[in-house]
Chain A
Amino acid sequence: MMADPKSLYQEVILDHNRKPRNYGTLAHASHKAEGHNPLCGDHLSLTMNLDGDRIDGIAFHGESCAICKASASMMTATVKGKTRADAETLIREFRDMATGKLDLTGQPHHLGRLTVFAGVRDLPTRVKCAILPWHTLHAAFNSVVSASTESEDDPMHAPIGDA
């Protein structure tokens, strides 16, 4: 199973699931948001400190599947220290990759190691698991306190089959 390069459950994802980075809550966060996928019960809580335009600190915790937790862990590790504009570019690119709109080989992008999640595009019911942390980051930037994968007015809303 692990020899299959198409497998979503690559070692890097399993590692981030086992030992999530930036796991917890920031005491004095300037921005925060709750992410929830009512279809599968995934839930995560994101706290973030913006120093001007730069992400000074970021942490998450919650209950979710391995794909969601690893995505959150790798997201926080990637965006920490980046500007809001850079993080928002990543949000857009990650979403496009997960929904199959981004051609990883043909189009320029900044996803780096985050491309390990590209396999979710073939698993429609799991796309939302991978995207939820990025939904939540988007919500935190916009001081939206609660994000849901199912709210129609969410600009991140991806119309994909139910889980």
Chain B
Amino acid sequence: MTAIQTALKSRQGTGFDVERIRADFPILNLKVGGKPLVYLDNAASSQMPQPVIDRLVRYQTSQHANIHRGVHYLSETATREYEEARRKLAHFINAREEREVIFTSGTTEAINLVMHGHGRKFIGAGDEIILTTLEHHSNIVPWQMLCEEKGAKIRVVPINDAGELLIDEYEKLFNERTKFVGVMHVSNALGTINPIKSMIEFAHARGVPVLIDGAQAAPHLQVDVQDLDCDFYAFSGHKLCGPTGIGILYGKAALLERMQPFKGGGDMILSVTFEKTTYNTIPYKFEAGTPPIAAAIGLGAAVDYLSGIGMHAIAAHELDLLNHATAQLSRMPGVRVIGTAGEKAAVLSFMVDGVHPHDVGTLLNQDGVAIRTGHHCAQPVMQRFKLPATSRASFAFYNTTAEVDALVAGIRSVQKVFS
């Protein structure tokens, strides 16, 4: 069953009350230039609900100290809560073990960690890394840096006009030099949900490990790393109602153990002399220095909050919003939807004929509607569609169909201004 079908099926019988959910998000009451905020830039960053804000306040007001160090009450409390957050994250993605979850500053650092820890050790001259046209710059640039250092090569999976990966081409890219695959779960620029499970299976049959950039998937879909059988899965906290500066790298324990540390410092060691340092076990080997403790605990509260609503219910509501928005924009003369994949999540890129996306964004802002305009850190996607930029509306479970209608009305007034 596809992710979309699962979402549709689970919609039946769910009492999804969007107004009750919105009441949890104080920022949604904001007025922008006198107009109610219509926040449709969730793919860039999502908003934080009161329970997560409260959790951060509780930590800072009654639980903060440095972790893994002191023998005193606060240090023990902070350590317990930090490790409890790790347990929540492991549960959220169905990791086998908690030690397979490494706290990072976000998706970008997680990918860089894999590049340094795994790539620099196991990828060499003449080896090949498979990426896709859809990738965010954060899953391109680290690998280019590795290729420059090692003399390895990047091979790119092309996409069709709908924004779907050409799986035949993906399979043809494999050869005896293929050492690694990096692919995003959901495209931040187009919303395409990639068939990662079968892609992982294909790579594994050839002994090639796979990293999934889950930054745009974890907030919208139920992620099960054991079911996917991915080797690495990375995402950011601030895109799923958590704080900035925190994210995770999931990695299979056997792979993480073979990797070299990414950053050196305190907490990632067992013993240090000037002759020899023994590294700590995973996950601590990869968490040098004092981590963002509060942010990690906040992220733990965020996944609790999301799980309380249910990822299937979230996916179903967001699919309603996406379908409603797609239907309306597709009917509008002079508006073109970019990215028409069969399976999409929460992202709607579009062009208004004769109007540059930056002008669309600035004018929508005057109506209180927040969207993203630009290349979305995915310039290869823009080049594929021969566009300098797109306008992108991206939805969260706290958005409403009325907000989608406000977007549509806003686009109509943009067209009127430029008529």
Q: Which A residues have a C-beta under 8 Å from some C-beta of B?
A: 1-2, 4, 7-9, 14, 17, 39-43, 63-67, 123, 125-126, 129, 163
State whether B362 touches A41 (Cβ < 8 A): no
A42–B357 CA distance with the chains assembled, in angstroms:
11
A1 with B362, Cβ < 8 A, contacts A41-B375, A63-B388, A64-B356 known: no
B96 interface residue (CB < 8 Å to A): no
A9–B356 CA distance with the chains assembled, in angstroms:
13
A6–B396 CA distance with the chains assembled, in angstroms:
31
Closest A residue to B375 by beta carbon equals A41
Partner of A67, one of B357, B358, B375, B389: B358
> What 0/1 pattern do residues 362 to 376 of B give for CB contact below 8 A with A?
110011000001110
A9–B365 CA distance with the chains assembled, in angstroms:
13
A9 with B375, Cβ < 8 A, contacts A1-B366, A40-B388, A64-B356 known: no
Considering residues B356, B357, B388, B413, which has the most beta carbons from chain A within 10 angstroms of its beta carbon? B356
State whether B417 touches A41 (Cβ < 8 A): no
Residues of A near B418 (CB, < 8 A) are: 14, 17, 66
A65 with B356, Cβ < 8 A, contacts A41-B375, A41-B388, A163-B374 known: yes
Question: Can you list 15 A-B contacts (CB < 8 A)?
Answer: A1-B413, A9-B359, A9-B417, A14-B417, A14-B418, A17-B418, A39-B374, A40-B358, A40-B389, A41-B375, A65-B358, A66-B356, A66-B418, A126-B358, A163-B374
A39–B375 CA distance with the chains assembled, in angstroms:
8
Residues of B near A42 (CB, < 8 A) are: 388
State whether B359 touches A66 (Cβ < 8 A): yes
> What 0/1 pattern do residues 282 to 313 of B give for CB contact below 8 A with A?
00000000000000000000000000000000
A66–B358 CA distance with the chains assembled, in angstroms:
9
Residues of A near B367 (CB, < 8 A) are: 1
Residues of A near B359 (CB, < 8 A) are: 9, 65-67
State whether B388 touches A163 (Cβ < 8 A): no
Closest B residue to A9 by beta carbon equals B417
> What 0/1 pattern do residues 77 to 103 of B give for CB contact below 8 A with A?
000000000000000000000000000
Residues of B near A4 (CB, < 8 A) are: 366
State whether B382 touches A41 (Cβ < 8 A): yes
A42–B389 CA distance with the chains assembled, in angstroms:
9
Closest B residue to A43 by beta carbon equals B388
Residues of B near A8 (CB, < 8 A) are: 362
State whether B388 touches A66 (Cβ < 8 A): no
A123–B373 CA distance with the chains assembled, in angstroms:
14
A43–B356 CA distance with the chains assembled, in angstroms:
12
State whether A1 touches B363 (Cβ < 8 A): yes
Residues of B near A7 (CB, < 8 A) are: 366
Closest B residue to A123 by beta carbon equals B362
Considering residues B359, B366, B388, B389, which has the most beta carbons from chain A within 10 angstroms of its beta carbon? B359
Residues of A near B358 (CB, < 8 A) are: 40, 65, 67, 125-126, 129, 163
Instruction: Tell me how far the C-beta of A147 lies from the nearest C-beta in chain B, rounded to whole angstroms.
Output: 17
A41–B381 CA distance with the chains assembled, in angstroms:
13
Residues of A near B382 (CB, < 8 A) are: 41
A40 with B363, Cβ < 8 A, contacts A63-B388, A129-B358 known: no
State whether A40 touches B366 (Cβ < 8 A): no
A4–B35 CA distance with the chains assembled, in angstroms:
14
Complex A-B, nearest 6 residue pairs according to Cβ-Cβ distance, in ascending order: A41-B388, A65-B356, A65-B358, A66-B359, A65-B359, A41-B389
Closest A residue to B388 by beta carbon equals A41
A14–B359 CA distance with the chains assembled, in angstroms:
11
B30 interface residue (CB < 8 Å to A): no
B355 interface residue (CB < 8 Å to A): yes
Those of B354-406 within 8 Å (CB) of chain A:
355-359, 362-363, 366-367, 373-375, 382, 388-389
Instruction: Tell me how far the C-beta of B373 lies from the nearest C-beta in chain A, rounded to whole angstroms.
Output: 8
Extra contacts, 16 of them, besides A63-B388, A65-B356, A163-B374 (Cβ < 8 A), are A1-B363, A1-B367, A1-B417, A4-B366, A8-B362, A9-B362, A14-B418, A40-B373, A41-B382, A41-B388, A41-B389, A64-B356, A66-B418, A67-B358, A67-B362, A129-B358
Instruction: Tell me how far the C-beta of A65 lies from the nearest C-beta in chain B, rounded to whole angstroms.
Output: 3
